[in-house]
Amino acid sequence: MITRMRLKARGKINLGLDVIRKREDGYHEVKMVMQTVGLYDSIDLRTSDREGIRVETNLYYLPNDQNNLVWKAAEMLRQEFDLPGGLDIRLKKMIPVAAGMAGGSSDAAAVLFGVNRMYGLGLSLDQLKERGVKIGADVPYCLMRGTALSEGIGEILTPLPPVPQCWVLLAKPGISVSTKWVYANLHANELRPEDHPDIDGLVEAIRRGDLKAMAGKFGNVLELVTEKRYPVIGEIKSVMKRYGALNAMMSGSGPTVFGLFEDVRAAKKAYWALKNGRLSGRIKQVYLTNFFNNREVSNGL
């Protein structure tokens, strides 16, 4: 048995996000393209002779009990396989919280992967994904990572070719957005045809490896709700485009905005414009990173 392990839980962005309809059971049927980025949380796992799971984080406002997804992930496997002793989890958050980047889901995915490896449980990736979806709809994708088409309620995943590498600028304004609130205010069954982004066109551009065409097909139907409520999202997008972004869009239900840049100098200028410009007082976090696409590495977290 491995007694210690350090893992990287990487964030994601949505290159495209459409909500097809709200189903009779209350769930929303989606069609979206997910992409892993280089920004990550660090997770240290260590077995303990003491029973139970202990979670420590670098953010005082995060729960350290069963309300944290890393705790739920560890406890799920601990109960199912009657694992001996306990587990200490140290979580260092870098991915913005409640920001449309699946940080919590990625943390849970990393813990599932880590516990499986540490205790030699022998679960395949598909078996981990079957368990992960019980924790959250994004967890199976966060186990797989890379570029993928996500359908159904997010559980039907189709791997796509890696997107062309570029610079990804991320900016989260100093607000937090409830995903539940966004979907409740979308009124999915009342959307007009022109409200829906061209996800099929986006996928085709990705298959061709055409970065500019891909950026031209960006679309996130949830911006209709979140950006309307928080205009700063649109202002951040405008700054990124003004400094040379191929395109800029909100990720997930927001409020994080990302922009894609081919030129690192333009990306750095946009970074500093957001850090020190007129919006700086309204932006909480800014990061410059890349896509994360190595499937062999990503499957090993």
Helix (H) or strand (E) holding 140: helix 139-144
State pLDDT tens for residues 242-255.
999 999 999 999 99
Mean pLDDT of the chain: 94
Does 301 score more than 80 pLDDT? Answer: no
State pLDDT tens for residues 206-255.
999 999 999 999 999 999 999 999 999 999 999 999 999 999 999 999 99
pLDDT level of residue 45 (50, 70, 90 thresholds) = very high
Q: Which residues contact 167 (CB under 8 A, 6 or more apart)?
A: 260, 261, 262, 263, 264, 267, 288, 289, 290
CB atoms inside a 10 Å sphere around CB 250? 27
What residues act catalytically?
Answer: 12, 138
pTM listed for this prediction: 0.93
